[in-house]
Amino acid sequence: MSPEDSYDIVVVGAGPAGSTAATYAARAGASVLLVDRKKDIGVPLQCGGFLPHHETLQELVPSAQLPYTLEEYPSSCVHTTTTLQRFIAPNGQSKQFEVDADVLNRRQFDKYLAREATRCGAQLMVGTNVLEVNGNSLIVDGVFGKHTIDAKVLIGADGPNSIVGRTKGLVRDPDPMGTGTAFEYELSGVDVDREAVEMYFGKDYVPGGYAWIISQGGDTANIGVGIREVLFKTGMCARDYLDRFMYEHPIASEKLKSGSIVSVVSGLVPVGGAPRRTATMDTLIAGDAAGHIIATNGGGISTAMVGGKIAGETAVDSLNGTCKLTEYDLRWREQMGLEIKTAAYARKLMDNLMRSDSMMSAAIKMISPEHMKAVQCGRLPDTVKKGLIKLNFGTR
């Protein structure tokens, strides 16, 4: 394919944020180009695929207008469904609450979202890397050759290391505690609980984070660690921690150690909260690029899509002259700013707790399942906030 020289809107990144932005912009009549360096959308995989159902998501971000693609995806995008989320404390005690969620096949889901964008009229250019951003011009290179493409509005949905966000001065190098490293194996030949997503805590296994076991149905599961490099012991890497969890954890290893690793997945998770500005006069950033993620659990699929939808809509509104592009900042913060900010704050409180296994076990024991669910969703009820602060600083 040969791209046009210019478009109303160019979206960089065909992940959940970018494809959703392109869908909503194209639906509203704009000429849209969606560019991704991946030759095969959704591959390599960089996700556990845990996505609560539409109604639960609406509880998670009550003010957000969820994109229709969060409700209407084909069954081929779903590995399995789960009904429970279980927390396993460092001392082995567990607590669980009900949650209706899908375990997505992200390879299929991302393809579905990109196809949806093209169905709405966007042009998709795969295998194409954005090398440079000069004002409103992009220099791209890849399987369809080298091109310079102009955009009236640029949307950077290009993930945690956003070239768009950096070039436009919207994102800077994050503080090391604000970036998680996620490392994951897809396993076959394991016998794990198919009804529950499990989250394990403990500083020797998952410094500054947690490990997960997510059944994909049958005898397959993905397991992973979401941890902070700055807290690693000298000489350890993320894979070492995942191996330790898989082969040595007193509870998990019994279910996992005989599994075969059929794929390895890794990526960064921006858990430092959103940058102060996510818009300029000609550019928006959305999804991981804009910190649209629930920092307490690293879940970012739904928030990326909400951010993408608002970015696509705001871009078109600004081209139609009904708002300034910079109104985007206000729009997405009205819909999910509180949850994203609170989750980043809760994560900081949890960081201190996670330095001590006994404190973490005490916190899991103290908090009710309902409150735990609220914290997961980026809400911090007063009782939990007081409790966490008390545990962090001790009683005076």
304 versus 349: smaller Cβ distance to ligand FAD: 304
Indicate which single residue of 13, 259, 273, 312 sits in contact with ligand FAD (rule: CB under 6 A).
13
Q: Which position among 38, 249, 309, 379 is part of the footprint of ligand FAD (CB under 6 A)?
A: 38
- Nearer to ligand FAD by Cβ, of 21 and 89: the residue is 21
Decide: is 159 part of the binding site for ligand FAD (CB under 6 A).
yes
- Closest CA relative to residue 84, chosen from 376, 381, 302, 346: 376
Report the C-alpha gap between 276 and 205 in whole angstroms.
33
Q: Are 29 and 172 in contact (CB under 8 A)?
A: no
Instruction: Please report whether residue 265 would count as binding ligand FAD according to CB under 6 A.
Output: yes
Nearer to ligand FAD, 16 or 259 (CB): 16
Residue 304 in contact with ligand FAD, rule: CB under 6 A? yes
Member of 23, 26, 27, 48 binding ligand FAD (CB under 6 A): 48
Residue 284 as a binder of ligand FAD (CB under 6 A): the answer is: no
How far apart are alpha carbons 360 and 391 in whole angstroms?
9
Nearer to ligand FAD, 170 or 182 (CB): 182
Residues 93-132, one symbol each (x = binds ligand FAD by CB under 6 A, - = not), give ------------------------------------xx--
Residue with tokens 């091109």: 147
Q: Find out whether 237 and 231 touch, Cβ atoms under 8 Å.
A: no
Which residue number, 33 or 391, has a Cβ lying nearer to ligand FAD? 33
Considering only the stretches 92-100, 227-235, 300-308, 368-376, report the one whose residues sit in contact with ligand FAD under the rule CB under 6 A: 300-308
Stretch near ligand FAD under the rule CB under 6 A, chosen from 7-15, 65-73, 82-90, 327-335: 7-15
Decide if 240 contacts 227 (C-beta within 8 A): no
Q: Is 298 in the site for ligand FAD (CB under 6 A)?
A: yes
Distance in Å, CB of 325 to ligand FAD, minimum: 19
Which of 178, 208, 224, 275 is the binder for ligand FAD (CB under 6 A)?
Answer: 224
**Beta strand pairing status for 128-134 and 137-142?**
antiparallel
**Under rule CB under 6 A, residue 15 binds ligand FAD:** yes
Of the candidate residues 30, 33, 117, 157, the single one contacting ligand FAD (CB under 6 A):
157
35 binds ligand FAD (CB under 6 A): yes
Measured CA to CA, the distance from residue 65 to residue 237 in angstroms comes to 39
Query: In angstroms, what is the minimal distance from the CB of 37 to ligand FAD?
Result: 4
Binding site for ligand FAD (CB under 6 A): 12-18, 35-38, 46-51, 129-130, 157-159, 163, 182, 184, 224, 265, 267, 269, 287-289, 293, 298-301, 304
